[in-house]
Amino acid sequence: MNPAAWLLLPGLVLLPVLLLLPLALHGGGWSLIGGFLAAAVQPSLDPALLAASGRGLAVTLAVALWSWLLSLVLGLAAGLLSAPLVVAELCGQRWPALVLRRLLALPRSLHELLWGLLLLQGLGLQAGVAILAIALPYGALVARVVSDQVEALDPGPLRALRTAGSPAWAALLQALGPPLLPGVLSYGGYRLECALRSATLLGVFGLGGIGADLRLSLQSLQFREAWTSLWLLGLAMLLLETLVALLRRRWLLPGASVGRRGRELLLAGAVLAVLLLPAGHLLGLDGRCLLGPWSWPAPTDLWTNAGWRQPWPALVGSTVGLTLLATALAVAAGPWLVLLLRPWPRLLLPLQALGLLARLLPPPLTALLLLFICRPGVLPAALALAFHNAGVLGRLLLEQLAAQDPRPEQALRSAGAGPRRALLQAAFPAVARTYLAYGAYRGDVILRETVVVGLVGAGGLGVVLLEALSSFAWGDVVPVLLVYAGLTLAGESLADGCRRRLLLAREVG
Amino acid sequence: MPSPALVAALALALAGVSQPVVAAMPRFRVPLAQLNPGPAATAPVLRISAIPDQNPEKLNRLYGLVADELSESLGRKVVYVPMVDYSAAVTAFRKGDLDLVWFGGLTGVQARLQTPGARVLAQRDVDAAFHTLFIGNREATAGLQPIRSAADLKQLRGRRFTFGSESSTSGRLMPQYFLQQGGVKLTDFAGGGPGFSGSHDATIALVQSGAYEAGAVNEQVWTSGLRKGTVDRSKVVVLWRTPPYPDYHWVAQGNLDRRFGAGFTGRLQAALVALKPTSQRRVQILDLFGARQFVVAPADQYGQIEAIGRQLGKIR
């Protein structure tokens, strides 16, 4: 089968969704949607609000920066230690890596928001809470990607170096460093964008942040105030994404000379180090706070029976269903839209603007907007998750397409193929594997995000979890967390199996 | 090749975002170091906060004014710490990171139960007898019989129904209690459960639009919506006004006398109760609170809220 078909296949879920959508629409709130859109061109310019928003943006950027850096450090270390190839070199056994890899599913299975609420219990009002809340799950995610990449490397050079008598550490660095660097650089830049989105959704305990302002403004229907935050945030995100794309193109181009790239990397590192100081000062960071005293609430009822008596099959079923539906929609949206709009390249710009808005709006807020015109249930929840994640995946797709060698497509065009046919036969097959791999990782993220949209009537584990957290019922929290971890592990095993088959297929083919 | 210059320019731009803004906004800047004063800290700072039940612009304005007012009448430095979440406010109070918090009925009780020594200081004149309104989409609820008591709420079975925030007293706890009195279980609603709109304003908008057929909303927010013209009476109607119950209140840490000097808690309470519309700032504060004045609140008044909270599992 043409790999491009795999890109378009998830679009099959669009059929039932398009059939069900008209039934779910109630249309009673089009005036609210109109008000929201109209407010885009007249955001509030009240000086006090602007100043507070500017400060909120600075706080959010500072949290994103610190949590991103911490997650990269944690993720690289944990990723290498959970790669069997590396661990086998260091201690002669493969199993510690496999165990660690499974254990890393635990921090990853929890949404940043829940990490935040749990860490707040132990640490109190600290900017460090927001940073750790993002860095821990992100670190585990980075670790998974790094260890996947190590696994996909050719072990030949490493074996050669070892046979030649080079010590384990030096051989690992020399054999794995250069081939891993492009992937780590490219993925690392992408993580910074993710960190900004998470910092936006999370808000910062005790400091607010622009995301918290955005959420409260939208919930109280102050659309003009909400757009002040959205424009500022959008500008920051656009700037960041453009810079990351620029650096990625510059550093990862096949012709990029190694010496120059090294110098620029050092310079970028120095700039980051300089930025970290004011950012840390703004947040009032104090590393000592992590040392304690940690004071947890009295664990009176951590293991109650009641917490375990939940309708698990129904809860898990609706959570998994929502995840699959949202993931399929998010994966399908990009390729289908690009295919449909191919004959009119000018329409790409409005599409990119829509994508930026999708990445900007946290899913719970999109869900609220959707409820103005759509009845509560799984559908608005899935659409909200899909919209946000399609924005993320769509950008990756466009970037990949832009990085392709244009000649095969041009050749097809000059041979008389239409623009869509050329895309399907040349560019899509080339990007299909990587894009779908991103999609699989995204499924992991969407599973976590189901927590934050459960409240629009989609039900599932998220509702139980938020209810337990707001009742401070730790006995109810623990079982749900374990079930989430189990689901993440199951999803990971599934994805691992698929990837192994893909790798095998590539070797055979 | 512009790269190094470009990187440097971006660094300047990013640094520029944070520095001048911070310098320009001394009142909003809350150094977190002050939130957790070490043993060497000198003059203690009174950290006030509130559950985020309003739009942030109003929260910043209101509690900025309250901080200024208290700072003037107590001769102490007072800072407002914004909170992003109801339960985060409860936890921060339990950890001792906040000194005086404007809680709702339920969150206030949760906070006091988790924080030994914490005290109820004051409430607004309207809080001793607060009300929730059950509202309905006019078209969707046209066929309902008039609701005269909790028992008549039975008619809401099988309807799409939404609460406000999960931890809200007027938007969730008390309406759930009255629904239970009327024999309605949460699983009786269409879709297998109620929605949680996140805020009172959102509840009104969602019922008005028809996303939900009915919902429960804080009476004060409804009234102010009517005044501002954001409520369309042709689309959304009041179905029932609940019996009264106590709601919002100021809760203070029990160790303020030790940290700020003997008699400080009493002076703080007196300062709150003494807020009368005698200056422009005080008029503004009372206006934003939607109250004529604050009154001393007896803690046992909230025994009813605690009992209901335990019954419904919101307090363990």
pLDDT tens, residue by residue, A416-445: 888 888 888 888 888 888 888 888 888 888
Look at residue A144 in the predicted model and tell me its pLDDT: 86
**Which of A30, A111, A216 is the best mutation test for B, with the most CBs of B within 10 A?**
A216
Instruction: Tell me: pLDDT of A462 over 50.
Output: yes
Look at residue A206 in the predicted model and tell me its pLDDT: 65
Look at residue A254 in the predicted model and tell me its pLDDT: 61
A302 within a domain of the structure (yes/no): no
Look at residue B17 in the predicted model and tell me its pLDDT: 39
- Given an 8 Å threshold on Cβ–Cβ distance, is A208 in contact with B84? yes
The pair of three-digit structure tokens given for residue A62, joined into one six-digit string? 């500072």
Pair (B107, B255) in one structural domain: yes
Q: What angle do CA B164, A487, A215 make, to 5 degrees?
A: 30
Query: Model confidence over A30-87: pLDDT tens digits?
Result: 888 999 999 999 998 988 889 888 988 998 999 999 999 999 999 988 988 888 777 7
Within 10 A of B224 (CB to CB), how many other CB atoms are there? 15
Pair (B120, B184) in one structural domain: no
Look at residue A253 in the predicted model and tell me its pLDDT: 66
B:55-84 residues touching chain A, CB 8 A cutoff: 55-57, 59-61, 81-84
- Given an 8 Å threshold on Cβ–Cβ distance, is A250 in contact with B4? no
Domain that holds residue B156: 132-241
Pair (B49, B94) in one structural domain: yes
Contacts from B110-117 at CB under 8 Å and sequence distance 24+? Answer: B110/A472, B110/B167, B110/B309, B110/B314, B110/B315, B111/B251, B112/B251, B112/B299, B113/B306, B113/B315, B114/A297, B114/A472, B114/B90, B115/B253, B115/B254, B116/B254, B117/B253, B117/B254, B117/B255
Look at residue A141 in the predicted model and tell me its pLDDT: 87
Domain boundary residue, one of B207, B241, B275: B241
- Given an 8 Å threshold on Cβ–Cβ distance, is A455 in contact with B195? yes
Pair (A62, A211) in one structural domain: yes
B4 within a domain of the structure (yes/no): no
Contacts (Cβ under 8 Å, ≥6 apart) of A324:
A443
A:266-305 residues touching chain B, CB 8 A cutoff: 267-268, 271, 274-275, 278-279, 282-286, 289, 295, 297, 301
B316 within a domain of the structure (yes/no): no
Pair (A329, A242) in one structural domain: no
Pair (A323, A456) in one structural domain: yes
* Average pLDDT over every residue of A358-379: 88
- Given an 8 Å threshold on Cβ–Cβ distance, is A376 in contact with B85? no
- Given an 8 Å threshold on Cβ–Cβ distance, is B195 in contact with A283? no
Look at residue B25 in the predicted model and tell me its pLDDT: 35
- Which CATH number characterizes residue A428's domain? 1.10.3720.10
Pair (A366, A463) in one structural domain: yes
Residue A322 at interface with chain B, using a CB cutoff of 8 Å:
no
B:29-58 residues touching chain A, CB 8 A cutoff: 29-36, 52, 54-57
A196 within a domain of the structure (yes/no): yes
Q: Write out chain A residues lying below 8 Å of B212, CB-based.
A: 376
Longest dimension (CA), chain B: 77
Look at residue B138 in the predicted model and tell me its pLDDT: 94
Chain B's closest residue to A471, CA to CA, is: B314
User: d(Cα A116, Cα A466) in Å, to the nearest integer?
Assistant: 13
B3 within a domain of the structure (yes/no): no
Q: Write out chain B residues lying below 8 Å of A213, CB-based.
A: 56-57
A75 within a domain of the structure (yes/no): yes
Rg (CA), chain B: 22
Pair (A109, A57) in one structural domain: yes
Pair (A405, A502) in one structural domain: yes
b/e per residue A34-64 (b: at least 16 CB within 10 A):
eebeebeeebbeeeebeebbbbbbbbbbbbb
- Given an 8 Å threshold on Cβ–Cβ distance, is B201 in contact with A221? yes
User: d(Cα A353, Cα A470) in Å, to the nearest integer?
Assistant: 37
Among B199, B208, B227, CA closest to B55: B199
A30 within a domain of the structure (yes/no): no
Query: Model confidence over A178-203: pLDDT tens digits?
Result: 777 777 877 888 888 889 888 888 77
Mean pLDDT taken over chain B: 86
Q: Residues of chain A with pLDDT > 90: what percent?
A: 15
Look at residue B296 in the predicted model and tell me its pLDDT: 95
State CA B161 to chain mean position distance.
22
Look at residue A224 in the predicted model and tell me its pLDDT: 92
B10 within a domain of the structure (yes/no): no
B:185-214 residues touching chain A, CB 8 A cutoff: 191-193, 195-199, 201-202, 205-206, 208-212
Within 10 A of A300 (CB to CB), how many other CB atoms are there? 9
Pair (A350, A237) in one structural domain: no
A:252-271 residues touching chain B, CB 8 A cutoff: 264, 267-268, 271
Residue B9 at interface with chain A, using a CB cutoff of 8 Å:
no
* Average pLDDT over every residue of A485-494: 84
- Given an 8 Å threshold on Cβ–Cβ distance, is A32 in contact with B209? yes
A33 within a domain of the structure (yes/no): no
Pair (A269, A317) in one structural domain: no
- Given an 8 Å threshold on Cβ–Cβ distance, is B25 in contact with A55? yes
- Given an 8 Å threshold on Cβ–Cβ distance, is A208 in contact with B33? no
CA dihedral of A327, A328, A331, A334, whole degrees rounded to 10: -120
Strand, coil or helix: B23: helix
Q: Write out chain A residues lying below 8 Å of B160, CB-based.
A: 375-376, 457
Q: Write out chain A residues lying below 8 Å of B36, CB-based.
A: 124-126, 286, 289
Per the CB < 8 A criterion, the answer to whether A102 and A121 are in contact is no
Confidence of residue A301 (pLDDT cuts 50, 70, 90): low
Pair (B104, B196) in one structural domain: no
A368 within a domain of the structure (yes/no): yes
Look at residue B15 in the predicted model and tell me its pLDDT: 41
Contacts (Cβ under 8 Å, ≥6 apart) of A172:
A80, A86, A89, A90, A158
Contacts (Cβ under 8 Å, ≥6 apart) of A47:
none
Look at residue B284 in the predicted model and tell me its pLDDT: 93
Residue B10 at interface with chain A, using a CB cutoff of 8 Å:
yes
List Cα–Cα distances, A258 to A161, A182, A247, A250, in angstroms: 22, 12, 14, 11
Pair (B122, B57) in one structural domain: yes
Q: Write out chain B residues lying below 8 Å of A470, CB-based.
A: 86-87, 166-167, 314
Look at residue A425 in the predicted model and tell me its pLDDT: 82
B159 within a domain of the structure (yes/no): yes
| More confident site: A173 or B194 | B194
Domain boundary residue, one of B224, B241, B258: B241
Look at residue B9 in the predicted model and tell me its pLDDT: 45
B5 within a domain of the structure (yes/no): no
Q: What angle do CA A477, A478, A482 make, to 5 degrees?
A: 120
Look at residue B19 in the predicted model and tell me its pLDDT: 37
Look at residue A435 in the predicted model and tell me its pLDDT: 86
- Given an 8 Å threshold on Cβ–Cβ distance, is B55 in contact with A472? no
B6 within a domain of the structure (yes/no): no
User: d(Cα A456, Cα A4) in Å, to the nearest integer?
Assistant: 35
Domain boundary residue, one of A236, A256, A291: A291
Instruction: Tell me: pLDDT of A262 over 50.
Output: yes
Strand, coil or helix: A389: helix
Q: Structurally, how many domains does chain B consist of?
A: 2
Among A298, A121, A296, A472, CA closest to B106: A472
The pair of three-digit structure tokens given for residue A46, joined into one six-digit string? 């009240």
Residue A49 at interface with chain B, using a CB cutoff of 8 Å:
yes
| More confident site: B6 or A499 | A499
Domain that holds residue A359: 312-508
- Given an 8 Å threshold on Cβ–Cβ distance, is B3 in contact with A295? no
* Average pLDDT over every residue of A301-327: 84
A:419-478 residues touching chain B, CB 8 A cutoff: 455-457, 459, 463, 466-467, 469-473, 475
Domain boundary residue, one of A233, A261, A291: A291
- Given an 8 Å threshold on Cβ–Cβ distance, is B17 in contact with A61? yes
B7 within a domain of the structure (yes/no): no
Instruction: Tell me: pLDDT of A92 over 80.
Output: no
Per the CB < 8 A criterion, the answer to whether A112 and A137 are in contact is yes
Pair (B112, B258) in one structural domain: yes
Chain B's closest residue to A261, CA to CA, is: B3
Mean pLDDT taken over chain A: 83
- Which CATH number characterizes residue B214's domain? 3.40.190.10
Residue A53 at interface with chain B, using a CB cutoff of 8 Å:
no
DSSP code per residue over B106-143: HHHHHHHHHSTT-EEEEEETTTTTB-EEEEEETTTTTT
Domain boundary residue, one of B221, B241, B261: B241
Q: Which strands make up the sheet holding B249-252, listed edge to edge?
A: B78-80, B46-50, B100-103, B249-252, B119-124, B294-296
* Average pLDDT over every residue of A346-353: 88
Pair (A220, A344) in one structural domain: no
Residue B99 at interface with chain A, using a CB cutoff of 8 Å:
no
The pair of three-digit structure tokens given for residue B19, joined into one six-digit string? 């520095």
Amino acid at B241: R
The Cα of A55 is separated from the nearest Cα of chain B by a number of Å equal to 6
The Cα of A79 is separated from the nearest Cα of chain B by a number of Å equal to 29
Q: β-strands B132-137, B294-296: how paired?
A: unpaired
User: Which backbone phi and psi does B239 adopt, to 5 degrees?
Assistant: -90, -40
3-state secondary structure A53-84: HHHHHHHHHHHHHHHHHHHHHHHHHHHHHCCH
Pair (A66, A164) in one structural domain: yes
Pair (B154, B99) in one structural domain: no
A40 within a domain of the structure (yes/no): no
Number of Cβ pairs closer than 8 Å across A and B?
240
Q: Structurally, how many domains does chain A consist of?
A: 2
A:346-375 residues touching chain B, CB 8 A cutoff: 364, 368, 371-375
The Cα of A263 is separated from the nearest Cα of chain B by a number of Å equal to 10
User: d(Cα B19, Cα A274) in Å, to the nearest integer?
Assistant: 13
Look at residue B18 in the predicted model and tell me its pLDDT: 39
Instruction: Tell me: pLDDT of A211 over 80.
Output: yes
Tell me, what's the ipTM? 0.84
Give me the tens of pLDDT residue by residue for chain B, a chain 316 residues long.
344 444 444 444 444 433 333 333 333 334 444 454 444 456 789 999 999 888 777 888 899 999 999 999 999 999 999 888 898 899 999 989 999 999 999 999 999 999 999 999 999 999 999 999 999 999 999 989 999 999 999 999 999 999 999 899 999 999 999 999 999 999 899 888 899 988 899 999 999 998 899 999 999 999 999 998 889 999 999 999 999 999 999 999 999 999 999 999 999 999 999 999 999 999 999 999 999 999 999 999 999 999 999 999 999 8
Residue B24 at interface with chain A, using a CB cutoff of 8 Å:
yes
Pair (A324, A197) in one structural domain: no
Contacts (Cβ under 8 Å, ≥6 apart) of B135:
B203, B204, B207, B214, B215, B216, B217, B222, B236, B237, B238, B239
A122 within a domain of the structure (yes/no): yes
Pair (A271, A342) in one structural domain: no
* Average pLDDT over every residue of A308-320: 88
Pair (B77, B91) in one structural domain: yes
